[in-house]
Chains A and B, each alone.
Chain A
Amino acid sequence: MSATVDSDETLMSLVAAGDETAFRALTERHLGRILRLAQKMLGSAVEADDVAQEALLRLWMNAARWQPERSKLTTWLYAIVYRLCVDRLRMRRGVSLELAMEAEDPRPDALEALARERDLRQLETAMATLQPRQRAALTLFYYEELNGTDAAAVLGMSLRAFWSLLHRARQTVQQHMHASNTPSGTAAQS
C-alpha cells in the first residue's frame, strides 16, 4: 500500500477492514489538525492529547460508517473532535479556562522570538476569553481554512449563524489584543 498517496476514502476502507498501517497513515495526515482544534478549544495540551486519542479510537470504530459522499473526512473528524471538546468543557463547568491554560516551553531567547511568543500568548489569552463555539469558529475558518459551509456543518448551525458567530469571535479577539497592547492593558498583564 502506498500510504502517502492513497486517498482518505481508500485508507478509511482499509481501516474499516482492520488495517493498522492505513490507520497510521491517516493519523499522520490528520492528527495535526485534530490536535489544533482540540487545543484551541480546551486550552490544554494534555486534554487535547486525550481528546485526540479518543477521536482516533472513534475513527477506527466507525470507519465503516463514514460516508464520503455525505462529508469530507476532515469535516467528519472535526465534528467528532468538536463534540468531544464540548463534552469535556461541560464536565469542567465552573473551572476557569484561564486556570486550564498551560505554560508552553520557552522558545530560543532571541528578542524576536520572545516578542513573537508574547504575541502568541496574548492571542491564546484572547482566545481563552471566547465561548467554546466562537473558538471553534475561529479555528475552523482561520486555522483550518474550512469554508463557511463546511465549518457551519461541523458546528451544526446555519451558514448565516456561522458568519455572525465568526464576526463576534474575531471582534472579541481583536478588542482583547488591542486592550493588551495599550499601556494600561500591558501593565495589567505583567
Chain B
Amino acid sequence: MTLDFFIRLLDTFGADFRRWPEDQRAAAQALRDASSVAREKWEAAQRLDALFSLDRARQPDAVRVAAITNAALRRIRNQPEQGFDWRWLLSRPLGAAMATTVLAGLAAGFLLGPDLQPLQERGVPAVVLLLGYGAPGGEGLF
C-alpha cells in the first residue's frame, strides 16, 4: 500500500481500521507501523474521530425528548379524520390514466351501446352477449 492511498482511505474511513474495507486493513496497519508519516496522519485522524465520538455522546435531554414527542402527539390527535386520499394517484400517473380510460370506456359502452334486450329474450347467454356482441361484426353471430 502506498502512503497516498493510505491517506486517501484514512481521510474517508477514519482511524478505526474496523471501518476500512476488509482487504485493505492488514496492509494499512503494516504501513502505519512502518512509516512515521503514516503514523502521524493516523494519529491526527484518531484525534478527529475522538471528537466525533465526544460530540456523538451528547444526548438530547429527557425534557426535550418529551416535549417533542408530546407536541407530535398533540398534532396527531388534532388531525382531522381523513377520508379517501386521492393524492396517491399523482404518484402513479400511468396507472391512474389507464384506470380512468377503462372506467370511461365502460361508462360509454353502457350509455351508448345497443340495446341487448331482444337477444336476451332469444336466450343468448349474458357472457356471450358481453364478449361477442360488442365486437365488430359480432351481430352476425346471431
Contacts and interface: CB of A to CB of B under 8 A. Distances in A.
B106 interface: no
A46 B90 CA distance: 33
A27 interface: yes
Nearest to A174: B48
A53 B71 CA distance: 7
B60 A167 contact: no
B98 interface: no
B44 interface: yes
Interface of A: 20, 23-24, 27-28, 31-32, 35-36, 49, 52-53, 56-57, 60, 116, 119-120, 123-124, 138, 141-143, 163, 166-167, 170-171, 173-174, 177
Contacts of A20: 73
Contacts of B65: 27-28, 31-32
Interface of B: 8, 11-12, 14, 19, 44-45, 48-49, 51-52, 54-56, 58-60, 64-65, 67-69, 71-73, 75-76
Q: Report, nearest first, the 6 A-B pairs whose CB atoms are least far apart.
A: A56-B72, A167-B12, A142-B52, A27-B69, A143-B56, A53-B72
A120 B53 CA distance: 10
Contacts of A23: 69, 73, 76
A167 B11 contact: yes
Contact of A173 (B48, B69, B76): B48
Contacts of A119: 51, 54
Contacts of B64: 35, 49
Contact of A170 (B11, B54, B58, B60): B11
B142 to A, nearest CB: 51
Nearest to A40: B55
Nearest to B7: A171
B6 to A, nearest CB: 13
Contacts of A138: 52
Contacts, number: 76
Contacts of B11: 167, 170-171, 174
B52 A60 contact: no
A27 B75 CA distance: 15
Nearest to B10: A170
Contacts of A174: 11, 44-45, 48
A31 B75 contact: no
Contacts of A166: 12
Given A32-B60, A120-B54, A170-B11, A177 B48 contact: yes
Nearest to B82: A61
A94 B65 CA distance: 30
Given A120-B55, A142-B49, A142-B52, A167 B8 contact: yes
B13 to A, nearest CB: 8
B69 A56 contact: yes
A44 to B, nearest CB: 14
A57 B49 contact: no
Contacts of A27: 65, 68-69, 72
Contacts of A120: 51, 54-55, 58
